[in-house]
């Protein structure tokens, strides 16, 4: 296969539209309507409880960090605050972008706006980007959110454990948008009617960052930036650690989430930070199911899905060699075996992608 072109304006994008991979109909496990309705049902209570724990912890950790500053005794509290700011906000951005955690719409909006700011993701731009990710998951040239491309940019991924590329791009994009302009790729998926909102948000954020920097200058201290801005860097590691596992090393250009997404069992702390997005096949198949019902959905459809990875570390034991192999053979991917109870993959739908598979070593 020719070298992959991940640009949304490139040759692979055009080809995906031409051969029907763009906006295709994806495979879904059958679930009776009544059961599906029950799984999709919304309630406020679980997300209110989790938000009180999350924001309460952030206030507590930041408060202790400020109180003990500049002593090194403040470091553990900044690390804890950072991971909630730079990683838990990623999953809150994601879930509230779908509008599923709370039944009350304004609650989703408030958490979405706060989380978008923390992650430096324009809430308008990224809503559209993520919609495209769900329409065309890991379709080369269509999905703007592919983390591990082929060949994988391993150094770039490593830098992102400290937010270095993504946060930097976020701030650069914020300044571009604040100046009244959009990136040409953004303009391909944000409707014109929504574009003024992108610019308005970017200007508000620029003002908040300017105020924080001025405060730091006035205090002759980086303390204000330890609270706003820098935690996006020093707390990013957990969302990258878990986020890579969503799709890395798996098939691309297929229309069955069982082939290109990964479910991983995780410890309760990671699941709290990640808001159950470790059930990633389930989330992609049924994005309207709230995070707190995903374990139930998983139990209901696991007979039709590849066996989940049993831990973060077991998943990395699979992903890392696959990424290294993709450095040499871009067409290599991990094929997920299905249990005997599952409906088989439609080989005829995926002939083009699967036909290029390089056998495992």
Among 82, 86, 99, 308, binds other proteins (CB under 8 A): 99
How near is the Cβ of 277 to other proteins at its closest, in Å? 15
Task: Return the number of the residue (173 or 283) whose C-beta is nearest other proteins.
Answer: 283
Tokens representing 121? 């993701």
Task: Return the number of the residue (286 or 332) whose C-beta is nearest other proteins.
Answer: 286
How near is the Cβ of 134 to other proteins at its closest, in Å? 6
Among 7, 57, 135, 311, binds other proteins (CB under 8 A): 135
Span 42-81, contacts to other proteins by CB under 8 A: 42
How near is the Cβ of 235 to other proteins at its closest, in Å? 27
Sequence-distant (6+) residues with CB within 8 A of 361 are 325
Q: What is the x/- site pattern for other proteins, positions 190-209, by CB under 8 A?
A: -x-xx---------------
Q: 3-state SS string over the chain?
A: CCCCCCCCCCHHHHHHHHCCCCCCCCCCCCCCHHHHHHHHCCCCHHHHHHHHHHHHHHHHHHHHHHHHCCCHHHHHHHHHHHHHHHHHHHHHHHHHHHCCCCCCHHHHHHHHHHHHHHHCCCHHHHHHHHHHHHHCCCCCCCCCCCCCCCCCCHHHHHHHCCCHHHHHHHHHHHHHHHCCCCCCCHHHHCCHHHHHHHHHHHHHHHHHHHHHHHHHHHHCCCHHHHHCCCHHHHCCHHHHHHHHHHCCCCCCCCCCHHHHCCEECCCHHHHHHHCCCCEHHHHHHCCCCCHHHHHHHHHHHHHHCCCCECCHHHHHHHHHHHHHHHHHCCCCCCCCCCCCCCCCCCCCCCHHHHCCCCCCC
How near is the Cβ of 41 to other proteins at its closest, in Å? 8
Task: Return the number of the residue (96 or 302) whose C-beta is nearest other proteins.
Answer: 96
Q: What is the x/- site pattern for other proteins, positions 23-42, by CB under 8 A?
A: x---------x--xx--xxx
Task: Return the number of the residue (71 or 193) whose C-beta is nearest other proteins.
Answer: 193
Task: Return the number of the residue (80 or 202) whose C-beta is nearest other proteins.
Answer: 202
Task: Return the number of the residue (130 or 232) whose C-beta is nearest other proteins.
Answer: 130
Span 169-188, contacts to other proteins by CB under 8 A: none
Task: Return the number of the residue (77 or 189) whose C-beta is nearest other proteins.
Answer: 189
How near is the Cβ of 40 to other proteins at its closest, in Å? 4
Among 151, 287, 295, 321, binds other proteins (CB under 8 A): 287
Question: Does position 288 bind other proteins by CB under 8 A?
Answer: yes
Span 112-131, contacts to other proteins by CB under 8 A: 124, 127-128, 131
Question: Does position 98 bind other proteins by CB under 8 A?
Answer: yes
N-term to C-term CA, the chain: 19
- Can you give the binding site for other proteins, defined by CB under 8 A? 23, 33, 36-37, 40-42, 98-100, 103, 105, 124, 127-128, 131, 134-135, 191, 193-194, 286-288
């Amino acid at each position: 296969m020719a070298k992959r072109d991940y640009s949304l304006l490139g040759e692979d994008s055009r080809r995906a539209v031409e051969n029907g991979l763009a906006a295709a109909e994806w495979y879904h496990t059958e679930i009776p309507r009544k059961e599906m309705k029950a799984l999709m049902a919304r309630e406020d209570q679980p997300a209110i409880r989790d938000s009180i724990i999350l924001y309460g912890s952030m206030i507590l950790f930041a408060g202790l960090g400020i109180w003990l500053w500049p002593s090194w005794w403040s470091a553990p509290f900044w690390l804890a605050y950072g991971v909630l700011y730079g990683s838990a906000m990623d999953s809150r951005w994601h879930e509230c972008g779908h509008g599923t955690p709370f039944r009350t719409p304004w609650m989703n909006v408030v958490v979405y706006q706060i989380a978008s700011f923390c992650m430096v993701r324009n809430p308008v731009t990224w809503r559209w980007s993520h919609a495209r990710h769900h329409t065309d998951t890991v379709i080369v040239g269509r999905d703007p959110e592919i983390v591990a491309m082929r060949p994988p940019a391993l150094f770039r991924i490593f830098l992102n454990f400290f937010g270095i590329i993504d946060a930097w791009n976020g701030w650069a994009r914020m300044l571009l948008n604040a100046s009244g302009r959009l990136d040409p790729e953004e303009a391909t998926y944000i409707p014109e009617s929504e574009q003024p909102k992108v610019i308005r948000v970017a200007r508000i954020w620029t003002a908040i960052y300017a105020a924080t920097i001025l405060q730091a200058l006035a205090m002759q201290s980086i303390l204000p930036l330890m609270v706003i801005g820098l935690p996006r860097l020093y707390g990013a590691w957990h969302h990258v650690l878990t986020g890579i596992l969503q799709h890395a090393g798996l098939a691309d250009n297929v229309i069955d989430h069982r082939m290109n997404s990964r479910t991983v069992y995780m410890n309760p702390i990671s699941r709290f930070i990640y808001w159950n997005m470790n059930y990633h096949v389930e989330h992609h198949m049924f994005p309207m199911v709230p995070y707190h019902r995903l374990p139930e959905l998983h139990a209901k459809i696991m007979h039709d899905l590849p066996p989940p990875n049993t831990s973060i570390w077991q998943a990395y034991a699979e992903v890392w060699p696959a990424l290294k192999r993709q450095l040499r053979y871009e067409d290599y991917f991990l094929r997920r075996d299905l249990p005997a109870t599952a409906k088989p993959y439609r080989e005829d739908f995926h002939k083009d992608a699967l036909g290029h598979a390089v056998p495992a070593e």
